[in-house]
Amino acid sequence: MHSLGRSWLLLTGFILFYVIYLLFGALMFSSIERPVEDKLRQEMEVLKQEFLNQSCVNSTSLERFLVKVLTANKYGVSVLANNSATSNWDLTSSMFFANTLVTTVGYGQTTPLSDTGKAFSILYALIGVPFTMLVLTACVQRIMCPLVLSPVSLLQRSGMEPRPATFLHFLLLLLLVVLCFFVVPAAVFSSVELSWSFLDGIYFCFISLCTIGLGDFVPGTQPGQKYRQLYQVTVMVYLFLGLMMMYLLLRTFHKMADLHGLTTFLQLPRCDESDLEDDREPIIEGKPEDQAPPYQTEKEANKHLKPGSHPVYNTINSG
């Protein structure tokens, strides 16, 4: 059972490497961010002391007040005077929220407050996430032909070998995507949003398009934003298109890796075991195809269970 042993070995290797990678990241983040955090904390202490010194407020009532303010702020409700006009839950903002929910970006700068809202978010996400993934994959499949297969065959016909052709094409596509979906939007964002620099714009684009969505930068939330609704809708469209292009890139990379033999070497799902065979039988009788590969364990060491072979929301496994 050479291949089975190999697959276990590979898995342990991956896990180990992953843990090491995480540790490395932890060390780096810690060393970069911690000094800044300490400095900020000291500044806050000084500020509080100053405030307390020059006024009649005592420490406990200030604490109480601050706690309340911060809890409200966590939910996006601000106590500052100029922020009282715009709601976080008007129609376009709610749609923006629903969009972040469904594309799994999940910024978190507005979150549901009520219990019903939370329950509804759960249901909405469970249905909406696979639905969106389906749409994205379908769109990617459609644009795959004019954007990937045609140029590659064009290159091949002009005399290049398949492997360098795919590689060159992938590089060109990567350049195009970076230009159109990172550099240009970052420039636009940094000019529209007052407090963002160009680096912040690129950071935002990257964090959003990888669906990480930390939420420290969210466009359209500054008070007094002009044309807020139009802006939010544009950002939604940008997110969707950007996600599609990322999937396309991923898929192209996967096909290229296939061609170069990487995926078989690493025992990853191959590109032509596409999950979008429309000639699959209906789900009941088709279940053997879905669940059979993991059931036939030793025999099919190459076939992988669906989480591996589906372009759900985690990256390279898009088949």
Partner 1 sequence: MAAPDLLDPKSAAHNSKPRLSFSVSPVLLNTPEDECDTRTTVMRWKTVSAIFFLVVLYLIIGATVFRALEQPHESSQKLAILAEKLDFLAMHSCVNSSELEDLVKQVVSAVRAGVNPSGNSTNHMSLWDISSSFFFAGTVITTIGFGNISPHTEGGRIFCIIYALLGIPLFGFLLAGVGDQLGTIFGKGIAKVEKMIVKWKVSQTKIRVISTLIFILFGCLIFVALPVIIFKHIEGWSTLESIYFVVITLTTIGFGDFVAGEKGGSESPEFLNYYKPVVWFWILVGLAYFAAVLSMIGDWFRVISKKTKEEVGEFRAHAAEWTANVSAEFKETRRRLSVDIYDKFQRAASIKRKLSSELGINQELTPGKRALSVNLYEDRENYPNSTLSLSPITGTLARNGSFYLNGLSPDYADRREIAIIENLK
Shortest distance, position 125 Cβ to partner 1, whole Å: 6
Rg (CA), the chain: 25
CB of 230 to partner 1, least distance (A): 15
- Choosing from 160, 162, 183, 203, the residue that interacts with partner 1 (CB under 8 A) is 203
Q: Which residues contact 129 (CB under 8 A, 6 or more apart)?
A: 102, 104, 313
Stretch of 156-164, 185-193, 221-229, 267-275 lying at the interface with partner 1 (CB under 8 A): 267-275
**Is there binding between residue 18 and partner 1 (CB under 8 A)?**
yes
The verdict on 220 binding partner 1 (CB under 8 A) reads no
User: Which of 1, 5, 87, 174: binder of partner 1 (CB under 8 A)?
Assistant: 87
Closest CA to 242 of 210, 216, 217: 210
User: What is the dihedral angle through the alpha carbons of 306, 308, 311, 316, rounded to the nearest 10 degrees?
Assistant: -170
d(CA 190, CA 185): 8
Task: Tell me how far, at minimum, the Cβ of 159 lies from partner 1, in Å.
Answer: 18
Site membership for partner 1, residue 10 (CB under 8 A): yes
What is the residue-wise DSSP string for 252-295? Answer: HHHHHHHHTTHHHHTTPPPTTS-TT-TTPPPHHHHHHHHHHHHH
- When binding is defined by CB under 8 A, the residue of 156, 200, 222, 241 that contacts partner 1 is 200
Residues 130 and 107: their CA atoms lie apart, in Å, by: 19
Q: Which two tokens stand for residue 171?
A: 């590089």
Count the site residues for partner 1 by CB under 8 A. Answer: 155
Residue with tokens 């005399």: 159
- Which of 1, 5, 6, 91 forms a contact with partner 1 (CB under 8 A)? 91
**Contact call for residue 84 and partner 1 (CB under 8 A):** yes
The reply to whether 178 sits near partner 1 by the rule CB under 8 A is no
Q: Which is nearer to partner 1, 38 or 161 (CB)?
A: 38
- Using CB under 8 A as the binding rule, whether residue 49 contacts partner 1 is answered as no
Give the DSSP H or E segment for 240.
helix 228-259
Cβ pair 267, 302 in contact under 8 A: yes
Which residue's CB is nearer to partner 1, number 18 or number 227?
18
Q: At closest approach, how far in Å is the CB of 180 from partner 1?
A: 18
Q: Which residue of 1, 27, 171, 187 would you call a contact of partner 1, by CB under 8 A? A: 27
